[in-house]
Structure 1
Amino acid sequence: MKYYTNYKPENLKNASLYYDKFVYHEANPEDLKKIKDDYKDILINLDKNIIKKNIEIIKNIRIQMINKIKKHYNVKTYIVKNKTPFLIGAGIPSIDEIGFYWSRNYGLPIIPGTSIKGAFRKYIESNNDLKSIIDVVFGNAEKKGYIDFLDAIPINTIKLNIDYQTPHFQEYYMNNQPPNDVYNPIPLNYLNVSNGTFRIDLLISADSNEVINIINIHFKYFLEYFGIGAKTSMGYGRFKIQELSNFDRR
């Protein structure tokens, strides 16, 4: 593999390529802590003009897509702003202990539609009154569900931040030692999205107003109070709806 040996942080145009590939190339055991700290600072201080340009590209692609398919679906578009930080892809392999998800093509933090779908299903399953509509919403082995979840894409400025956690029983988790207070806690830091405005599109193939209304009511509640991504039990991943648009195929 040929490496770009003249690389400089100010030349960075795709955060995903840097995070997934180049950071590994720079890493070495003797200086690993410095590399881990430096790459986060580089990503947090990305060129705002490049980010803005990439956001405009992905935003325009989404608008064109919805304009083409809204004749075939009832489309609900939610413009949301995160009330609390969120973290997607914590389990993705990375140079750090905690991963982070980037759009490979656009180098932007996005929320995959599969993550939204999985979290919304968990919310539905946790509500006994809604379990009867699980197959209607998500489908089963015999029938497709009524909703397609598109990726949540940024449509405005994104702010990344660093947060910390301090595991107290590392020997217990990693080396099968008994849990004990004698182990030294080792602080970890990780990236999150602390501020951003995102567009979420749901493609609903149901024609029943009752089904559509149920989905809408509970999806809004899910965004505000249930959360998406990692660390929702700590308050992560809550969103405030700024705007809701409906494109009715009928």
Structure 2
Amino acid sequence: MGRTGTYSLKAALERLGRGPCHHMSSLDGDVDRIRGWEAAAQGERVAWDELLEGYQATVDWPSCYFWQELLDAYQDAKVILTVRDTGRWYASVRDTIYRSSHRQPGWPGMLMRLEDGACRGLRCRRRMCERVIWEGTFGARFGDPEYAMGVFEWHTAHVLAAVPADRLLVYEVCQGWEPLCDFLRVPVPDEPFPHLNDTAAFQSMAARRRRRVLTLRPPEPGGGQTAVR
């Protein structure tokens, strides 16, 4: 699930030659692919090779919502289950993607409506997130911490039970390169592991995006992702 180090894992997999790696951030402006994920969330038949065309790996939402379908479609694929302390995970989701993609009451919701009106791609992605994450994964109950954390723990247990052990790595990004490289049978790079997109970095990125959208400025070079070593 998102906020378990998936952006760091995306960067690591790409460094190890397993890229491009799909991630929620890959959908910026890609309205056709966003609609494909939305159709999948509504139960339409999915041609996974078409939806994931151009990618060698996928992490984060929306993919993790369809992990069982992907497991069946790619029966030789390796599976990495990223894990994290449940309470810290919930706080991170609440303070980042929940606030930026779930329609909030009052002034935050008004800003979101302005953003959505100014940016079609952002509007489509938020709608898809609502269906896949907040309704599909959490049954519109993410605001109930006990329920949401129970869903997270159920997801972890279900993946552990369903994926054959020889295809599965249970992984915390704080473990760095060694377990990931051993699992993929590739050499360990002679460079620091990419620790990216913590809560502060996400909030800073979201604030820059909001200013850019509401003032109709072009994107900043480099996409605004911040590394945290």
Query: TM-score, length-normalised on structure 1?
Result: 0.21
Q: Larger helix proportion, structure 1 or 2?
A: 2
Q: Larger strand proportion, structure 1 or 2?
A: 1
Instruction: State which structure, 1 or 2, has the greater radius of gyration over its C-alpha atoms.
Output: 1
Query: TM-score, length-normalised on structure 2?
Result: 0.23
